[in-house]
Amino acid sequence: MKLQHRTASPTTNDIEAARAVYKYLKATTELCITLGKVNDTTFFAYADASYGDWHDSKSTEGAIWFFGGAPIQWHSRKQSIMTPSSTAAEWCALDKPARDAQWFLKIASALDLPSAGDPIVILTDNINTQLLMAKKSCKNSTRWLDIKWFFVKDAIFRNKIDLRRVDTKNNVADGFTKPLDKEAHEKFIQMLGLN
């Protein structure tokens, strides 16, 4: 259940769920983000989408950026359109990270980081999306994606982004797209580098 959808008219169960969230936050005050615990001066991101929510058939996307071994920016949001496939949802989920990458390239250059000028790595777990991004031409079935989300492909072909595959179990952004059980949540906390 997503509590943010229930704030207008919460039920008793919603109040109990909110209490559980509060209890969790109170019990985990020692968790924090530590920038620089890894000597890494590159920006990189994970992106993911959870296809078709059962409420409205729209997918949920998430992305997270890392620098110096720590998360520095993240988002989780419902996609504004209904996509016809998980591949399309994953493609759409790359749009915001691809746009953010342009900003991080400017930061790397302004700070004269060793990685300045290198393409920024964005990791995705959907192999079909990665294969479609590698093709200059498009099929009729993906033409609408090519037109609306051409920015991502263009950034790849201009060598601003290096789109790489990551195994689903190692895709940190997966934790932003769906509810997690206790074991998956604990792994998510580890992958975020919270300590």
> pLDDT tens track of the chain, all 195 residues?
467 777 778 889 888 988 988 998 999 999 988 888 788 888 999 999 887 676 777 888 999 999 988 999 999 888 777 776 777 788 788 989 999 999 999 999 999 988 888 899 999 998 888 777 777 666 665 565 556 667 888 888 889 999 999 999 999 999 998 888 899 999 999 999 887
Q: What is the pTM of this model?
A: 0.84
Give the contacts of 55 (CB within 8 A, at least 6 positions apart).
none
CATH T-level assignment (fold) for domain 36-192: Nucleotidyltransferase; domain 5 (3.30.420)
Q: How many residues does the chain have?
A: 195
The residue type at 145 = L
Question: Could you tell me the two tokens for 48?
Answer: 């993911």
